[in-house]
Amino acid sequence: EDQVTQSPEALRLQEGESSSLNCSYTVSGLRGLFWYRQDPGKGPEFLFTLYSAGEEKEKERLKATLTKKESFLHITAPKPEDSATYLCAFQGSGNTGKLIFGQGTTLQVKP
């Protein structure tokens, strides 16, 4: 069964303290691994798409990487405004376009 697991569920960091969020998946035929940021009461905001193992993408303090079994979202020198829930999702090989979401990691960055 296709599934995705995120860890940790919650993460508290001091401003400037770098860390990584994990997204592990079991899926047959990965078409894409997606990272989203969600603020309370809002829809998810698209961050990255990764398509194949070894791929990396960066945006400001965020860097996403992908292996055959997991993806990491690295946060370098985070700021309080990076506090949010980070969701990963994958799309399998079917043509429906459905995304399977993990439960998310809620990040709190304290000043």
Partner 1 sequence: GAVVSQHPSWVICKSGTSVKIECRSLDFQATTMFWYRQFPKQSLMLMATSNEGSKATYEQGVEKDKFLINHASLTLSTLTVTSAHPEDSSFYICSARGPFDNYEQYFGPGTRLTVT
What is the amino acid identity at position 94?
G
Tell me the C-alpha distance between 104 and 41, whole Å: 15
Nearer to partner 1, 40 or 111 (CB): 40
Which residue ranges make up the site for partner 1 (CB under 8 A)?
A: 31-32, 34, 36, 41-46, 49, 87, 91, 96-99, 101-104
Per-residue DSSP letter, 96:
S
Instruction: Name which of 18 and 103 has its Cβ closer to partner 1.
Output: 103
CB 98 to partner 1: min, Å: 6
Closest CA to 52 of 62, 64, 37: 64
- Quote the least distance from Cβ 102 to partner 1, whole Å: 7
- Is-contact 89 56, C-beta < 8 A? no
For residues 64 and 57, is the Cβ–Cβ distance under 8 A? yes
Minimum CB separation from partner 1 for residue 22, in Å?
15
Q: Quick one: 78 or 102, whose CB is closer to partner 1?
A: 102
